[in-house]
Amino acid sequence: MAPPLLTLQNIGLTLGGKPLISAADLSVERGDRMCLVGRNGSGKSTLLKIAAGEIESDRGARFFQPDATVRYLPQEPDLSGFPDVYSYVAAGLGPSDADYRAHYLLDALGLTGSENPERLSGGEARRAALARALAPEPDILLLDEPTNHLDLPAIEWLEGELSSLRSALVLISHDRRFLQNLSRTTVWLDRGATKRLDRGFGEFESWRDALLEQEERDAQKLERKIAAEEHWVRYGVTARRKRNVRRMSELGALREAKRTAEKAVGDVKISVAEGQVSGKLVVEADKIAKAFGERPIVKGLSLRLLRGDRLALVGPNGAGKTTLINLLTGAMTPDSGSVRLGANLQMATLDQRRAALDPDATLADTLTGGGSEWVEINGERKHVIGYMKDFLFPPEQARTPTRNLSGGERARLLLARALAQPSNFLVLDEPTNDLDLETLDLLQEMLGDYPGTLLLVSHDRDFIDRVAGSVLAHAGGGAWVEYAGGYSDMLRQRGPEAAASTQNAPAKKTRRPEPKPAAEAKRKLSFAEKHALETLPAQIETLRQKAAKLHEILRDQELYSRDPKRFADASALLAKVEAELAASEDRWLELEILREEING
Does residue 312 sit in the same domain as residue 186?
A: no
For residue 480, being part of any structural domain is answered with yes
580 falls in which pLDDT band (50, 70, 90)?
Answer: confident
Same structural domain for residues 394 and 246? no
CA distance 577 to 183: 23
What residues contact 175, with CB distance under 8 A and at least 6 apart? 147, 155, 460, 461, 462
Domain count, the chain: 4
Same domain flag for 405 and 488: yes
Contact 486, 582 (CB under 8 A): no
Closest CA to 404 of 372, 361, 370, 436: 361
Q: Does residue 269 form part of some domain? A: no
Identify the DSSP state of 118.
G
Whether the predicted pLDDT of 513 surpasses 70? no
pLDDT in tens, 358-393: 888 998 888 888 778 888 776 678 888 888 887 878
Do 201 and 218 lie in one domain? The reply is: no
pLDDT digits (tens, 9 = 90+) for 465-493: 988 999 999 988 899 999 988 898 888 88
pLDDT for position 498: 47
Reference 302, options 323, 329, 284, 277; nearest CA is: 284
Whole-number average pLDDT of the chain: 82
Closest of 292, 277, 273 to residue 478, by C-alpha: 292
Name the nearest CA neighbour of 3 among 47, 57, 67, 56. 67
Claim to verify: residue 19 and residue 107 sit in the same structural domain: yes
Looking at the domain assignment, is residue 291 inside a domain? yes
The pLDDT assigned to 283 comes to 93
Q: What is the 3-state secondary structure (H, E, C) of 389-439?
A: HHCCCCHHHCCCEHHHCCHHHHHHHHHHHHHHCCECEEEEECCCCCCCHHH
Q: Residue 556 falls within a domain, yes or no?
A: yes
427 shares its domain with 574: no
Q: Is 511 part of any domain?
A: no
**Same structural domain for residues 565 and 446?**
no
| Tens digit of each residue's pLDDT (9 = 90 or more) over 275-314 | 556 678 899 999 999 998 888 999 999 999 998 899 999 9
More confident call, 273 vs 367? 367
Same domain for 429 and 323: yes
Question: 488 and 430, same structural domain?
Answer: yes
312-341 pLDDT, tens digit each: 999 888 888 989 999 999 999 999 999 999
Structural domain contains residue 512: no
Q: Is the distance from CB of 13 to CB of 46 less than 8 angstroms?
A: yes
> How many CB atoms neighbour CB 19 within 10 A?
15
* Whether 387 and 449 share a structural domain: yes
Give domain status of residue 57, yes or no: yes
Three-state secondary structure call for residue 334? coil
Reported as a single tens digit per residue, the pLDDT across 95-149 is: 888 888 899 999 989 899 999 998 887 778 989 999 999 999 999 999 999 998 7
What are the backbone angles phi and psi of residue 430, rounded to the nearest 5°?
Answer: 55, 60
Asked if 313 and 454 sit in the same domain, the reply is yes
Q: Where residue 163 sits, what CATH number does that domain have?
A: 3.40.50.300
133 lies in the same domain as 202 = yes
**Structural domain span for residue 326:** 281-502
Label residue 179 by pLDDT band (50, 70, 90).
Answer: very high
- Which of 18-32, 112-126, 391-405, 580-594 is the most confident on average? 18-32
